[in-house]
Structure 1
């Protein structure tokens, strides 16, 4: 093995040949149902719902109640057929493999005169079939026959039943999805519809080669003194049997200063029985040749290109190449004795649970990611949607997203984008809210799934932690599915799947990252208690999921302690604008309409929303605009509740060492009530605008106590302290946009901390609480800290809050930003306090601030136009406003 550094490295790569079998001029796919009464042109990659829609057999699947009206699709069986040509030269290749990157889900594959090739039963697995004796010169015909997923799940359940039987009836879903290695949400969830699709949802191709190909590359970075050690594992594939592997493997890494570090090694060995062989290369890199990768908000995200090249001895013209991006950072999940931080008091009991990045303990701010579309092939292909959602998360100061266990392992593009944006990923394995079977066939396919996906994703610097499942430990301990009579059986199945099967694979392939058996869980404590803790929600350990729809959720005293909040949330309705993309019928815009009932999948969902709203706001059911206001107020209520809970968790870094707040959920899959902050289609709810403030790196965060005193915390997510800056406290009454009292206090906070400002003493002893509220701002050079507020009584009890006069004008001056973006200045004039001023327009673009608490007679908000060339006058005419008033 040799090492050298060169100024540049250029080489010509001639890869082993692939015959692309995705839809093109050369490959024509068709599909048909079981009895051949429906057939049409197919798109591959794709799926049956997409193909039926494109061929005019069904309409917009997300319109009205089409999720139920099109359910017949899932009850039928479907076959996909393609014809393609193979040359005589192609048939000379020693290895001829048919590769499906993704088949959804239970399928039987044949080639030429229905000659069997193989079967599939896992949409998360890459299937490779040896077809050397099956291909022929000239035209070939490939056929993939899919079994109805509903029927497949039912058949397996009759042999290997695992609770629960079905999803709740209000979901309008299907049963036994836990029997299939398929996107669990495809059979419906409390936030989404059931579309149990089938199809070839990822690329398909034929590999032709003689020597070997690079199948996967993993990287492991470790800091040793002043050097970084980069361990590279290259997984070569030669065939599907024992084969000699001989050639040269080289790796080159581009680092700072336009330098390239290159290493190579000669290989001469016999492969394993399956034709694979692993080669290891280690690079030692001086720390001054790279820069550290940081999560969003803490630094930059430099990525360095790693090229790996395989040149076989016998077929030197046939090269195999992989290129990937490497980031240098350390990630540790610290579960240590909490008394080391707090001493032996209540908070010091148990274990910490926090992420240390590059030797710094960082508070994780973020949300939970569900699939970007209910049809997996659409989520896989719509990069612009993924980019917009991830950019929105980045812009709201999020540094972590939890990829939830009921969805899919996301596309390579998704993780590449997270690498670029500095968004760490908490990656669940895809098991959610159910018990699972452990028969040999199920365990075998899970082993393949975990191995392939860890190998595919492991190199990404954004991957922070693996988790075995979503909520299955608490479901079993909490008897969610009446499993207590069979507790020992289900516990044994749980350990067999997540501990005996998944855990050793992850720890072997990715020893540098923590594998958590479940989420939520007590982490190490759950493991000590035999993997099913007596109380998996113990606040002294691990992570928690907390939902409470009956308490007053604007009140910060409602929320429990936790080391790490990995799920919490509240529902709201999507905007009328978004709902109108699902229905045009005016009668649907009522809580009593069949449309509204159909779209609400959460049991008692609307009543919970109403309870929250009515505890704080006044809304008359006889108001002719009741539904419109219900929608708007639901978004206010959601935003304020999640703001309160998030700030409690950020504050509790000081007194409980809470070190993460990932609210449920970032995005949506259809136009319906849900916990999302971003609507289907990309519009931000009020929650996401609020997240830009409550996740701000520096924030004055007050907490109203039962005594009517106010504790004031200064949150500082920066590497530098805040020393002797000023916090301004303004008391306002409800009828005038000018403070009635102003005081300033000295403000101090350590780096990366939450600091209670003990010198700030505030209460309402001098005022009638119904007549006032308090505004908090920070005056500090170079720090952009948003204002914050305390409302001492529910808004419905506020006295003096009146209907405002609001003037919205758009400045004639238009600024051009990068690319085609135009920036408009929106001038806002008011004659009184305005609560939650919301602006909407049909012009393509976004407001940089919305849902505003207006306390100044004049203020300015920027509007960024993304596509439309619109005059200021036309923009002004298009703006519609809403606000809260009793």
Structure 2
């Protein structure tokens, strides 16, 4: 390797602006003059098309089909997925453009099986919606008019045919999903064939940008950055990934890098290049940069510090052609490691101290990961990277003190914008590779397809400081060990194929491209212990190792004692229905608004889902099936049940940092893809459920957290997610009767807890058998340096059995305040009550906005919350919305 040179900034800028290495001719509908049309196999349907886009979107825009998310249109439009569709573009090229040495047709995302023709000549085919394809079209392009055709086979039929050749379990999803079979055979969004929270829309289309690239020399396609700290110096290895096309190229010139740092300074390095690319035109070139720690600030997860990002520009000046190629990324400086070491070092030589830890250390600190699981933001992939939707969801996560998002393996490699926003917002990303809840083939063609997919996407995402870990698959280890798909008789075959795919094929690719991050083969798993046990552990749910997914719909989900010890809870959840306002965007038939309607049944994809919700409601809340408002209450009560279940389980995991060194709680799931019952905290369209409001509290950095035990005692924990200890805090315990706002008893206790810790403070006996159905307890904490910590509550008996929880008198007043700092309209809502109110719910109606708090337990006569909205509404309109739709729980 030639020596690295330190060069002046002016030299780099001169090289940067001499000329550029060609240009792009966009073929997108909106960015170019290309005109796209769409037709099916027998030409009975022909219409205009949008690119990027997809067949369902185009047919809906043309009026051929209705709103795909309306009622049961997911089934009624399924014929679309079985037809053959052709996208045709007409565009013009200037004769001078044909003089470039290389002309490449680039398709950044094609869903999924397509044949590409230019001016009647075949130029290539595609078979993976997650792969970027580039085809040499120089010999087929002509001056003037050109015609591009992309013909799609049905992914459903291709999957069926592949399964006949390489059957891999399972054959089909459960019937209640209303889905399609053999999704595991194709490299396509697995959830597009349906899931227990979403419909089947096995779309086809050019779902990402498409363009022609004209150039005379290879370009820097991607940058990867390997950043490690040694003593007081950051060592940055920059790898420039060059791409030509289809032939070897001679790279002769100068490669330079400029990194912006603090104080408006720049660090510059460069090196001469004189090398050849591979026969396919690709090459990788490394440069090493050293940065003093005082030149950059640390990047921190949300809640622990700021997220400074620094511009890195890399330029190649080609002396043969006189052209330059430029690539820019933003990078952050932080260390992160997944620590799996002897647990007895932390917990001592007891049962909990057996096995290994499983926690993330960021910048040297053990951080408890708080957050949720991300599914695609839309079931149609062309809508999944809508920036407004991504911003709304990620900002909503930030508000709840989330510091980690798990991108689930049945969805998508998300768009660059998603990861950029995670970088900027401090959201660490647990990135699953896209394999979920299935066995997968391991024949040569499939493995080579996957290898390309993984290489491209790890290179694309590796530089983001938000990416914390690569996960090989979702639930496939435990599925094989647990015989989920009747694979027991072929266990050896499936284990061999499992290892071939995730260990022999994927693992070396990921670790070669990103050696500083952990590749975890499966989730849940026992982590390193699963690897030592041959990658399929005898018990992948061993609480002494790794991470856990836990769902229990039969037991009482408000009972702390049902939840398992785990080092890291990476999935857990309970269902609820979306609001009636959201359901109204899927049906306007009043007959559909019933738990027994075909519409509501069709939307429930989880087997026995409604019966589980009904059973949980029956444990805690009084709901009469003959109530005239039964359906409205069923929706509302389902959200209460879900919010409280997630509150109890999440607080159990946060408390267990003390006793089991549980170090993560990522509930299932953040968002939705349609208007249906699911585990989400945010409904399709962005409306917050009660769960999401409750997440703001149960993820609060400082929290007093009581645990009701089966004995009737209460253990009181103090949780501190800050870098400083809490000393001599005051923990207040107020006992109320349900019919009064005046506590019948008030006590306080001294609390102390170290930084980044949870500590049990006291065990209390708070009631006796004579009056526990009349009372409840409110907990709060005050401490120096803690500006806010929410109330917490213990209900001694199920609310359906309490006495005194009757109709309150509620007075609502609304006044408009000054706009917020981000330009939103701001309203202050005052709530006056004459007695305790349980789970007071303030509606937003059709106003797009949210409250500072909701689902309130009111123990004071006056409470204020703030409502923020970008909509142009008046205080009177908001007041009407609230008063006409107010909900709360009473025993009647």
TM bin, normalised by shorter chain, reads: over 0.9
Whether 1:662 aligns to 2:666 is yes
Match of 1:705 among 702, 706, 709: 709
Q: Give the match's secondary structure for 1:769.
A: coil
Give the equivalent residue in structure 1 for 2:432. Answer: 428
Whole-angstrom distance in 1 between the partners of 2:502 and 2:474: 11
* Deviation digits for residues 606-644 of structure 1 (CA, Å, limit 9, x no counterpart): 000001110111100000000100000000000000100
Residue 485 of structure 1 aligns to a residue whose secondary structure is: helix
The aligned counterpart of 2:72 is: 65
Query: Given that residues 98 and 129 in structure 1 are in contact (C-alpha distance below 8 angstroms), is that contact kept between their aligned partners in structure 2?
Result: yes
| Aligned residue among 835, 850, 856 for 2:854 | 850
Contact 1:228 1:284 in 2 (8 A): yes
Q: Distance in 1 between matches of 2:264 and 2:489?
A: 65
Deviation at 1:713, TM superposition (A): 0.4
Question: TM-score of the superposition, structure 1-length normalised?
Answer: 0.98
Q: Structure 2 vs 1, CA of residues 311 and 541 (structure 1 numbering), >3 Å: closer, same or farther?
A: same
Q: Output the CA distance in 2 between the equivalents of 1:872 and 1:631.
A: 27
> What TM-score do you get using the length of structure 2 for normalisation?
0.97
**Aligned counterparts, 1:232-247, within 5 A:** 232-247=238-253
Asked whether 1:346 is paired with 2:314, we answer: no
1:394-438 deviation line (CA, Å, top 9, x unaligned): 000000010000000000000000000000000000011001111
Match of 1:377 among 382, 389, 394: 382
Aligned 8 A contact 1:296 1:423 in 2:
yes
* 2:100 equivalent in structure 1: 93
The question of 1:278 aligning with 2:276 is answered no
Flag the 1:425–1:8 CA change in 2: closer, same or farther, 3 A. Answer: farther
Matched, 1:117 2:123: yes
List aligned pairs for 1:197-276, cutoff 5 A. Answer: 197-276=203-282
What residue is the counterpart of 1:535 in the other structure? 539
Q: What CA distance in whole angstroms lies between the structure 1 residues aligned with 2:839 and 2:700?
A: 19
Corresponding position of 1:682: 686
Q: Whole-Å Cα distance in 1 between the matches of residues 303 and 769 of structure 2?
A: 40
Structure 1 residue aligned with 2:56 = 49
Moved over 4 A (4+): 4-11
1:315 Cα offset (Å): 1.5
1:447 aligns with 451
Further displaced range: 134-143 or 595-604: 134-143
Q: Give a deviation string over 1:343-375, Cα, whole Å, max 9, x none.
A: 221001111000000000000000000000000
Report the Cα offset of residue 9 of structure 1: 8.0
- How far off its partner does 1:767 sit? 6.0
CA drift of 1:8 comes to 12
Among candidates 72, 78, 87, match of residue 85 of structure 2 = 78
Which one of the candidate residues 770, 774, 784 is aligned to 1:771? 774
RMSD (CA atoms): 1.3
Q: Name the CA distance, whole Å, in 2 between partners of 1:571 and 1:291.
A: 41
Shift of 1:779: 1.2
Contact 1:8 1:260 in 2 (8 A): no
* 1:652 match: secondary structure: helix
- 1:874 — aligned with what? 877
1:365 to 370, 377, 384: 370
Secondary structure class of the residue paired with 2:549: strand
Q: Give yes or no for the alignment of 1:179 onto 2:179.
A: no
Is the aligned partner of 1:395 residue 2:399? yes
Q: Choose which of 786, 790, 794 in structure 2 pairs with 1:786.
A: 790
Shift of 1:325: 0.5
User: Which residue of structure 2 aligns with residue 619 of structure 1?
Assistant: 623
Distance of 1:433 and 1:751 partners within structure 2: 38
SS in 1 for 2:642: helix
| 2:36 corresponding residue in structure 1 | 29
**For 1:512 and 1:636, how far apart are their aligned partners in 2?**
42
Query: Is the contact between residue 846 and residue 864 of structure 1 (CA under 8 Å) also seen in structure 2?
Result: yes
| Structure-1 separation of matches of 2:747 and 2:293 | 49
| Pairing 1:644–2:648 present | yes
Gaps of 5+ in 1: none
Tell me by how many angstroms 1:818 deviates.
2.4
SS in 1 for 2:741: coil
Task: From 814, 818, 824, give the equivalent of 1:821.
Answer: 824
| Cα contact 1:256–1:290 (8 A) shared by 2 | yes
Deviation track 1:791-849 (CA, whole Å, cap 9, x = no partner) reads 011001111111111111113x5222124312211111001100000001333321111
Counterpart of 1:719 in structure 2 is 723
Change in CA separation of 1:15 and 1:773 when aligned onto 2, cut-off 3 Å: farther
The SS at the match of 1:654 is helix
Equivalent residue of 2:111, what SS?
coil
**Kept after mapping to 2: 8 A contact 1:5/1:261:** no
CA distance in 2, matches of 1:741, 1:804: 22
Q: Offset of 1:705 from its aligned partner?
A: 1.1
Evaluate the alpha carbon distance shift between residue 782 and residue 862 of structure 1 in structure 2; reply closer, same or farther with a 3 A threshold.
farther
- Pick the aligned partner of 1:743 from 744, 747, 753: 747
Which residue of the other structure, out of 499, 505, 513, is the alignment partner of 2:503?
499
Contact conserved, 2:21 with 2:217, CA < 8 A, in 1?
no
Q: How does 1:559-570 map to 2 (within 5 A)?
A: 559-570=563-574
- Could you tell me how far 1:130 is from its partner in structure 2? 1.2
Deviations 1:54-104 (A, max 9, x none): 111011100000000000000101011111122222111111111110110
1:154 corresponds to: 160
Structure 1, 682-691 or 126-135: larger mean CA deviation: 126-135
CA distance in 1, matches of 2:881, 2:443: 60
Distance 2:161 2:482 in 1: 28
> 1:293 and 1:86, CA in 2 relative to 1: closer, same or farther beyond 3 A?
same
Tell me the residue number matched to 1:585. Answer: 589
Q: Deviations over 1:774-802 (max 9, x none)?
A: 00001124421001000011001111111
Q: Deviations over 1:653-675 (max 9, x none)?
A: 00000000000000000000000
Q: CA deviation at 1:249?
A: 1.1
1:106 and 1:766 map into 2 onto residues whose CA distance is 67
Deviations 1:451-496 (A, max 9, x none): 0000000000000000111100011000000001111111111000
Aligned to 1:327: 332
Say whether 1:337 aligns with 2:335: no
* Aligned residue number for residue 356 of structure 1: 361
Q: 1:2 is paired with a residue of what secondary structure?
A: coil
The CA deviation at 1:15 is 4.6
3-state SS of 1:770 partner: coil
CA distance in 1, matches of 2:643, 2:827: 26
Q: 1:715 aligns to what SS in structure 2?
A: strand
Question: Is the 1:21–1:205 Cα contact (8 Å) retained in structure 2?
Answer: yes
State the alpha-carbon separation in 2 of the partners of residues 201 and 335 from structure 1. Answer: 40
1: distance between equivalents of 2:75 and 2:129?
23
Aligned residues: 880
